[in-house]
Structure 1
Amino acid sequence: MCPMPDLLLIVELGVLGLATGFLAGLLGIGGGMLLVPFMTYILGAQKVAPDLAVKMAIATSMATIVFTSISSVRAHQRRGAVRWDIARRLAPGIVAGGFLASLGVFALLKGAFLAIFFALFVGFSATQMFLDRKPAPTRQMPGNAGQLGAGGAIGFLSGLVGAGGGFVSVPFMTWCNVPMHNAVATSAALGFPIALANGLGYAISGQGVHGLPAASLGYIWLPALAVIATCSVLTAPLGAKAAHGLPVKRLKRVFASLLFTLAAYMLFKGIAAAG
């Protein structure tokens, strides 16, 4: 029988789950941007090697999004905010890109590289969002082929950094003149195929890896998954409700400020691990 984490660890994971669930509903990011840095720290405290801790944090974060996204998207759908036409066109590419990242590339890369890549890409996304650049008024979502390609890029990048794709899909959709609240809601819906495809890939590609803690399924740490998923589904609807009550510009600034902070932390961790 697999050992359960101690009480303090359960409390820490529970608080993390409550916070990430709220942010998943508020910002459509699946909570991964918050989970990966904190899970990296928690796994390090459990004596997991730094390089492996980054990989397990990414994989465990992604697995929790399977549950968070369902709760979040139900809340957004009740307000009619999800653009299902966009979600259907992006989803096939997302699944293909996710499998390519999690089954192949992820296992080959060092955790230090993944941490630095996470930081740089998220920092770039945050800058674009914070500047609040207005898209050309005539720009629209691309056609079927374009959305298939965009979905592939979103799924692949999400697989490398353990996020639900909102840090790519929300800026992409707003750049194409999809209203911010619709972009956040649609991103929440896309979190499910992203998390499912990448989670399966992490579970398979992590089989037989040396140094995994007890109760791991490939790169996914099951005790953390259970606690965080249980708590996050409670607060995701609250975040979705808050998202529809905030002005668009403030929502973008909240999103960007969060990403800047977490990008800086992961850049520090990546440089330290590489050294």
Structure 2
Amino acid sequence: MNPELLWFAAGLVVAGLAAGFVGGLFGIGGGIVIVPALYFVFSALGLDDAVRMHVAVGTSLSTIIATSWRSLSAHTKAGAVDFDILKTWTPWISVGALIGAAAAGIANTEALLLIFGGGLLLIAAQMGLANPNWRMFAELPRGIGRATIAGGLGLLSALMGIGGGAIGVTVMTLCGRPIHQAVATASGFGAAIAIPAAIGYAIVGWGREGLPPWSLGFVNVGGFIFLALLTMLTAPIGARLAHRLPQLILKRAFAIVLAVLALNMLREALL
């Protein structure tokens, strides 16, 4: 086998194992780990700079399709999902995700790096500093407010390659929803983002030069298979460990790691 393909496969294995474990341990989407992991794997392999971030984001989104349904099913069995929120929010989230995928088609690598780095820095701050008991509003927005926030959530998540869980949980808890219900319900946002966005990334990236092996546009099929399987393998391990370790200390420590990753991505964009 081509040595380059072996290194590519090895990088996918490491990214998938790490993403699943971290997702299970902290209850966050694996895209936060998968995107930077794939970006640096592609950089090490010398993938064309013009497409490496696009493929990292598009491939991350494709894996969320499987993991979101699995997570939503588990939370549904526990009776923690508010399906009224899913019914009223997911159409707007999907519209935002489609717009985000279309925007990615005309955005350059530096723009995507800036968006991901800035968004990740905010998520790190929320994870390390925010109190889940904070409340700003009595209830979730309706009408134009709901459409704007849900659409923005889908758009930003599609540009970052994440499932929207971190953003969705923050919005719901600030609007008075219990943290467990917010986490469970936000797990359903992933598919609403990932399905239209992944299709969009495949379309806008079709025929581009410099794509890695096994790619459909900006979605790498090899990456999807490896990452989807491996994240499902290690996520239960992380989830079991989460109940045995001090969550507050762990989350703050991981927030520092995310902040370092975010600053590194921002440095890549600026340099």
Q: TM-score, normalised by structure 1?
A: 0.86
Pairing 1:149-164 to 2, within 5 Å after superposition: 149-164=148-163
The structural deviation recorded for 1:255 is 6.2
Q: Distance in 2 between matches of 1:11 and 1:48?
A: 15
Partner of 2:221: 222
Partner of 1:106: 104
**Cα–Cα, structure 1 residues 132 and 261, in superposed 2: closer, same or farther, change >3 Å?**
same
Residue equivalent to 1:41: 40
The aligned residue for residue 12 of structure 2 is 13
2:114 to 93, 116, 119: 116
Q: Check 1:197–1:27 CA distance in 2 against 1; reply closer, same or farther (3 A cut).
A: farther
Contact 1:23 1:239 in 2 (8 A): yes
Residue number in structure 2 paired with 1:231 = 230
Bigger mean CA deviation after superposition, 257-266 or 30-39: 257-266
CA contact (8 A) 1:20 1:31 kept: yes
Q: Is the 8 A contact 1:37 1:265 kept in 2?
A: no
Matched, 1:30 2:21: no
Residues 41, 248 of structure 1: alpha-carbon distance in 2 compared, 3 angstrom cutoff = closer
CA distance 1:248–1:62, shift in 2 (3 Å): same
* Residue of structure 2 in register with 1:70 after alignment: 69
* 148-157 vs 197-206, which moves further: 148-157
Query: How far 1:248 sits from its partner (Å)?
Result: 7.3
Q: Is the 8 A contact 1:64 1:229 kept in 2?
A: yes
Change (3 A) 1:241 1:137: farther
- Mapped to 2, the partners of 1:159 and 1:138 lie a distance apart of 26
Report % sequence identity. Answer: 37
Q: Is residue 117 of structure 2 the alignment partner of residue 128 of structure 1?
A: no
Q: Output one character per residue of 1:18-48: Cα deviation in whole Å (capped at 9) or x when no partner.
A: 2212333444432111111110011122321
Counterpart residue number, 1:51: 50
How far apart, in 2, do the equivalents of 1:156 and 1:242 lie?
A: 33
Cα distance in 1 between the residues matched to 2:30 and 2:112: 18
Is the contact made by 2:15 and 2:38 (CA closer than 8 Å) also made in structure 1?
no
Tell me if the contact between 1:28 and 1:188 (Cα under 8 Å) persists in the aligned partners: no
CA distance in 2, matches of 1:84, 1:229: 25
Deviation for aligned residue 1:119: 1.0
Instruction: Summarize the Cα distance change of 1:173–1:80 in structure 2 as closer, same or farther, 3 Å threshold.
Output: same
Give the conservation status (yes or no) of the 8 Å contact 2:71–2:187. yes
How many pairs were matched up? 269
In structure 2, what is the equivalent of residue 185 of structure 1? 184
Moved more, 243-252 or 84-93: 243-252
Q: Report the Cα distance in structure 1 between the residues aligned to 2:140 and 2:244, rounded to whole angstroms.
A: 26
TM-score, L = length of structure 2 = 0.87
Segments of 5+ residues of structure 2 without an aligned counterpart are none
1:111 aligned partner, one-letter code:
T
Change (3 A) 1:238 1:83: farther
CA positional deviation for 1:113:
1.4
Superposition CA RMSD, Å: 2.6
Report if aligned partners of 2:172, 2:182 keep a CA contact under 8 Å in 1. Answer: yes
CA–CA distance in structure 2, aligned partners of residues 76 and 4 of structure 1? 42
Does residue 85 (structure 1) correspond to residue 88 (structure 2)? The answer is: no
8 Å contact 1:28–1:187 — kept in the other structure?
Answer: no
